Amino acid sequence: MTTTSADPSATAAASGDLRIWVNGTLYDDPSAATIGAADHGLVVGDGVFETLKVLPAGPFTVGRHLDRLTRSARLLGLPDPDHDQAREAIDAVLADRAYELGKIRITYTGGRGPLGSQAPFGPPTLVVAADSIEPLEPTTAIVTAPWTRNERGALAGVKSISYAENVRALAYAAERGGTEAILINNAGHVCEGTGSNIFFVFGDDLVTPTLEAGPLAGITRALVIEWCGVREADLTEVEARAADEVFITSSLRDVQGVHRWDDKEYPTTRSAELAKIFAERSAADLEP
Ligand code: PLP
């Protein structure tokens, strides 16, 4: 069941467009939306999440995101999230709001737990938040992070809330004029960005790293593979840098051309064509 906090009109001005639902309660005042201080997500980062885009027609690929939330939860040994409840929460945060472009963040943790790494006691915590966002630039600059992605780690391929490594790497990229940091894995192959997958254009060939290399199985990645025909192969940094073009994908970036990778400039013509195909296909169907 969803209940609503106080008078929405009284809080809307202070909170902007951000609206948060926590364990069955919708808060129009985001500062009133809280979880317990002993939540295992807060104490040790024991939780998983999803980020999805909201278009004027509604949220994009909810089904795929909830399925991945379940896969991530299982990999952390958490109980399966309740998809009906998550959908109810999404409807609640979007109710009476029209977003030109928005984002939804779903966070699912083990709930209350010990002040250490032993298993949480539960029940799980489910948080769903919605906010408006600005469209991103069609092309961007990326920077190689000095740290590696561990493709054999327990969190490889898990959309875990333990994202401090990504926060660190993204800050490193931002300090160098990039909007994304690219991580090389321990085997020396290009893996992914902190919040995106990476693709390379070689003539007519499109290539993206295999899932064995440790990237998240991106939903945008899967759609680009399906709609544009992409070969999965692992490339060293040197091989990857020799690409004609490079682009990155994510639920909020869609297909975004890379005009600069570290100190090398790239054209973005083919990336723009692929971005157009993605925009057309995704606008035609919210649940492809
Ligand atoms: N890789 C990582 C580490 C991510 O966090 C994300 C999403 O934020 C992606 C890739 C792209 O995945 P998706 O296209 O499902 O958003």
CA–CA gap between residue 269 and residue 31 (Å, rounded): 44
CA–CA gap between residue 38 and residue 255 (Å, rounded)? 39
Question: Does residue 76 belong to any structural domain of this protein?
Answer: yes
Residue whose Cα lies nearest atom 4 of ligand 1: it is 195
Domain housing 60? 19-132
Whether residues 177 and 113 fall in one domain: no
Contact between 139 and 83 under an 8 Å Cβ cutoff? The reply is: no
Find the CATH number of the domain harbouring 115: 3.30.470.10
- Are 244 and 268 part of one and the same domain? yes
Q: What is the pLDDT of residues 106-157, one digit of tens each?
A: 999 999 999 999 999 999 999 999 999 999 999 999 999 999 999 999 999 9
pLDDT at 98: 84
The answer to whether residues 144 and 272 belong to one domain is yes
Q: What is the pLDDT of residue 97?
A: 87
pLDDT of 9 reads 35
To test the ligand 1 pocket, which listed residue (221, 250, 256) has its Cβ within 8 A of the most ligand atoms? 250
**Predicted confidence (pLDDT) per residue in 167-193, tens digit:** 999 999 999 999 999 999 999 999 999
Q: Give 14 Cα–ligand 1 centroid separation in angstroms.
A: 30
DSSP 31: G
What whole-number distance in Å separates Cα of residue 160 and Cα of residue 109?
A: 9
- Same domain membership, residue 144 and residue 79: no
Is residue 7 pLDDT above 70, yes or no? no
Whether ligand 1 lies within 6 angstroms of the CB of 282 is answered as no
Q: How far apart are CA 200 and CA 184, in angstroms?
A: 15
Same domain, 119 and 244: no
CA distance 204 to 16: 45
The CATH number assigned to the domain holding 199 equals 3.20.10.10
Does one domain contain both 108 and 175?
no
The reported pLDDT for the residue numbered 12 is: 35
| pLDDT value at 3 more than 60 | no
pLDDT digits (tens, 9 = 90+) for 75-104: 999 999 999 999 999 999 999 988 899 999
66 and 146 together in one domain? no
Q: 1-15, 57-71, 198-212, 256-270: lowest mean pLDDT where?
A: 1-15
Are 148 and 279 part of one and the same domain?
Answer: yes
196 pocket-lining for ligand 1 (C-beta < 6 Å):
yes
Atom 9, ligand 1: residue with shortest CA distance = 196
Write the residue with the smallest CA distance to atom 10 of ligand 1: 196
Tell me, yes or no, whether 1 lies in a domain.
no
Q: Which residues of 207-217 are buried (b: 16+ CB within 10 A; e: fewer)?
A: bbbeeebbbbe
pLDDT tens digit string along 15-65? Answer: 479 999 999 999 989 999 999 999 999 999 999 999 999 999 999 999 999
Does pLDDT of 8 surpass 50? no
Instruction: Please work out whether the CB of residue 5 comes within 6 Å of at least one atom of ligand 1.
Output: no
Minimal-distance CA residue to ligand 1 atom 8: 195
pLDDT tens-digit profile of 213-248? 999 999 999 999 999 999 999 999 999 999 999 999
Joined together, the tokens standing for residue 245 give 């073009």
Q: Find out whether the beta carbon of 221 lies less than 6 Å from any atom of ligand 1.
A: yes
Q: Is residue 111 part of a domain?
A: yes
Stretch 63-72: mean pLDDT: 98
pLDDT surpasses 80 at 202: yes
Query: Is 144 found in the same domain as 128?
Result: no
Kindly tell me if the per-residue pLDDT of 6 is higher than 50.
no
For residue 93, the surrounding DSSP H or E stretch is helix 83-94
Does residue 107 sit in the same domain as residue 223?
A: no
The total domain count for the chain is 2
- Determine, yes or no, domain membership for 7: no
Question: How crowded is residue 67: how many other Cβ atoms within 10 Å of its Cβ?
Answer: 14
Q: Which of 53, 251, 253, 282 to mutate to test the pocket of ligand 1 (most atoms within 8 A of CB)?
A: 251
Tell me if 249 CB under 6 Å of ligand 1: yes
